[in-house]
């Protein structure tokens, strides 16, 4: 291991939480890359710390509203895991740490039990290998069917393959640090998250989701 790698390794070991723009702090899992890294695989993908995420003012006291709330899914019988893995606070990506719904476009949905002001959503898909998921879309609505009053707060479906409309957000690479979405106080009771497989295959893999608001 060269000096640069050792420094990075020590940095990662010492990192148990991260603060986004000084506004929001969340715990982190250990980094677990279970496959040989490819130094060229992620060229052109969005990076977590490139400074492009636009955060607005956030109240000092926000909580993870998704924790232990009811979750539903487009797939009632995931191939691996259970949907309540997604808000149990465990962010490790190893075996037994994620839910694998069926292939192609799938969604999971949180019922926050009441209309809430939402300021951030943080996603952890499978981060045990270098990959990016297709058509990551985050929506908020008071309608549990998401047929009316739907606000899309993130969409990187650049070719409308999900049939939910083209998005302008960038495709990003999965890491143990998750992916934060700034939501700016949008109001709603339900949060729905889509994905459509990844560069590694047609399956979807959800590890953990946090929804910060009040």
Its pTM stands at 0.84
**17, β-bridge pairs:** 27
**Residue 123 near residue 207, CB atoms below 8 Å:** no
**pLDDT at 40 > cutoff 80:** no
**Residue 74 near residue 101, CB atoms below 8 Å:** yes
pLDDT classification of 153: cutoffs 50, 70, 90? very high
Cα–Cα distance between 43 and 163 in angstroms, integer? 27
Mean pLDDT of 56-74: 88
What the block records as the tokens of 96 is 């037994």
Segment holding 9, helix H or strand E: helix 3-13
Cα–Cα distance between 172 and 132 in angstroms, integer? 6
pLDDT for the residue numbered 39? 60
pLDDT for the residue numbered 122? 93
pLDDT for the residue numbered 128? 87
Secondary structure letter of residue 144 according to DSSP: T
Q: Report the b/e string of 135-161 with b at 16+ CB within 10 A.
A: bbbbbbbeeeebeeebebbbbbbeeee
What the block records as the tokens of 71 is 């979750």
């Amino acid at each position: 291991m060269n000096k640069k790698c050792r420094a990075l390794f020590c940095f990662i070991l010492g990192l148990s939480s991260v603060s986004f723009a000084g506004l929001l702090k969340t715990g982190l899992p250990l980094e677990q890359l279970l496959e040989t890294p490819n130094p060229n695989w992620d060229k052109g993908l969005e990076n977590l710390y490139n400074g492009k995420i636009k955060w607005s003012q956030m109240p000092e006291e926000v909580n993870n509203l998704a924790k232990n709330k009811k979750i539903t899914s487009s797939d009632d019988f995931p191939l691996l895991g259970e949907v309540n893995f997604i808000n149990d606070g465990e962010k490790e990506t190893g075996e037994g740490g994620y839910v694998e719904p069926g292939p192609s476009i799938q969604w999971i949905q949180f019922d926050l039990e009441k209309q809430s002001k939402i300021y951030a959503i943080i996603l952890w898909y499978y981060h045990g290998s270098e990959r990016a998921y297709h058509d990551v879309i985050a929506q908020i609505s008071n309608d549990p069917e998401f047929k009316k009053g739907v606000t899309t707060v993130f969409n990187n479906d650049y070719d409308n393959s999900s049939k939910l409309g083209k998005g302008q957000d960038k495709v990003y690479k999965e890491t143990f640090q998750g992916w934060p979405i700034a939501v700016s106080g949008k109001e709603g009771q339900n949060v729905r998250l889509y994905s459509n497989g990844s560069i590694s295959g047609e399956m979807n893999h959800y590890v953990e989701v946090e929804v910060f608001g009040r």
